[in-house]
Amino acid sequence: MAKQTVEALVEGGKATAAPPLGPALGPMGVNIGQVVAEINKKTAEFKGMQVPVKVIIDSETKKFEVTVGTPPASALIKKEAGVEKGSGNPLMDKIADLKIEQIIKISKMKQDSLLGKDNFSRVKEIIGTCDSMGVLVEGKQARETIADINKGMFKDKIQAGKTELTAEELKALEEERKKLEEEMKARRAEFEAKAKEIINSMTGKEPSAIRSKLREAKIPEKMIKELMPTEAAGAGAAAGGEKKPEAGKAAEAPKKEAAKKE
């Protein structure tokens, strides 16, 4: 029996007959409504995340099977952390704090696509991803939490695959997230005020010199880009200005030649 496969990326629990699914399934002769309903049923737990799905169709009987992949680890981390995006400056700005149970949960969901060969290595792999997003684990940065795991901390929970948190723990995590958010806002305001002070004090100076001064003051690169015009744009403008005299010379050349002939 010949089988055909349609692959698509859909929002968990919100697949529709619109592109990309509808046009791809139409020629297959299957009941698109039934396929969409099955996809939404199987992806409901991934609400708000993009999920890879496969629809395997028997060309003769038109029967179908839906298989669901898992979203990227970063998407699962954001869901557990209750944030929409990772930190723009993960080394300094921490946006959330996760418990080891949440890390274990994500590592189990991503088990088949992780490099780690056992529970401990997979958990540490997810913690590494948290670090690149500005997410703490058990109140610490990745290297510290990984060092704790290497010393034997959380051993029982990781071996048992514990993933459940109490209502009190969830409440504490939400309070910690709000606290980190306020700290990040205050730090950004401080950096912004300092950056504007430097820019104002160097009015008339070369943009490259101002940028260097901002970097010396440890202003985040993203903020520098927001507050300063790009050097490339300045260079482009300068280059454009230099072309005008050249154009003028080109226009004068025929006149000089004509004068010589006369």
pLDDT, residue 112, reads 78
Q: Under DSSP, is residue 56 helix (H, G, I), strand (E, B) or coil? A: strand
pLDDT(243) > 60: no
Pairing outcome for strands 50-58 and 64-68: antiparallel
Enumerate domains of the chain plus CATH numbers.
3-68 (3.30.1550.10), 73-165 (1.10.10.250), 183-232 (no CATH)
pLDDT above 60 for 15: yes
**Cα–Cα distances in Å, from 252 out to 78, 245, 259, 262?**
64, 11, 11, 16
| pLDDT per position as a tens digit, 134-182 | 999 999 998 899 999 999 999 999 998 888 888 888 888 888 888 888 8
pTM listed for this prediction:
0.61
- The mean predicted confidence, pLDDT, of the chain is 84
pLDDT at 261 > cutoff 50: no
In angstroms, the CA 244 to CA 223 distance is: 35
pLDDT grade for 12, boundaries at 50, 70 and 90 = confident
Check residue 230 and give its pLDDT: 58
